């Protein structure tokens, strides 16, 4: 299982690409040099999933401004992603690639696969331009994510990459103060 601080091994899979209205093979390495947000979810045609994916679609341009690509991943096929995109008002808003993982290989690589159910836990991974995991979160299927919070974490990840020696305190937003790693701060916060 890939963990924070590790380089993600390359993988290839079918994806539904809404902007092209096409199904194509994509590789993680296609996105090297960009930030990548992998959003794992259990299944198409469900309840919480379309609310999350729609919200990510609404923030998609903000992610792109940060040099990031969103990739959603479920154990459905790319054809099911296409059918869902064609029928759901929420999913029609998606422009980012929807990755297919019907054999659960990508889910297993990231430790999100629920063996007894054949679906993924709800999980988010942020991968830096070098292919290293800098953030991971996984939780129960009944709890939806916040695209705004994922974007905040992406921005914090970018900031500390671009400003060595700086760290972001709780709930940090761009423009707010950061902390400089220093012995002078020990015991004074």
8 A C-beta contact, residue 51 and residue 137 = no
Marked catalytic residue, from 28, 49, 99, 151: 49
Radius of gyration of the chain, Cα coordinates, nearest whole angstrom: 17
Cβ-count burial 71-81 (b if 16+ within 10 Å, e if not): bbbbbbbbebb
* Residue that has been written with the tokens 């007894």 in this structure: 116
Rounded to whole angstroms, the Cα distance separating 129 from 58 reads 23
* Alpha-carbon span 76 to 99, nearest angstrom: 9
49 is catalytic: yes
Active-site residues, by number, are 49
């Amino acid at each position: 299982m890939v963990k924070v601080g590790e380089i993600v091994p390359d993988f290839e899979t079918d994806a539904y690409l809404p902007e092209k209205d096409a199904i194509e093979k994509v590789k993680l390495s296609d996105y090297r040099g960009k930030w990548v947000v992998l959003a794992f979810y259990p299944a198409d045609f469900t309840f919480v999933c379309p609310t999350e994916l729609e919200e990510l679609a609404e923030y998609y341009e903000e992610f792109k401004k940060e040099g990031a690509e969103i990739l959603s991943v479920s154990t459905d096929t790319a054809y099911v992603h296409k059918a869902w995109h064609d029928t759901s008002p929420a999913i029609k808003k998606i422009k980012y690639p929807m990755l297919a993982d019907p054999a659960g290989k990508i889910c297993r690589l990231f430790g999100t696969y629920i063996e007894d159910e054949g679906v993924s836990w709800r999980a988010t991974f942020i991968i830096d331009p070098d292919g290293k995991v800098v953030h991971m979160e996984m939780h129960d299927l009944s709890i939806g994510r916040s695209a705004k919070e994922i974007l905040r974490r992406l921005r914090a990840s970018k900031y500390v990459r671009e400003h060595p020696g700086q760290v972001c305190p709780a709930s940090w937003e761009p423009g707010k103060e950061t902390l400089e790693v220093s012995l002078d701060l020990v015991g004074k916060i």
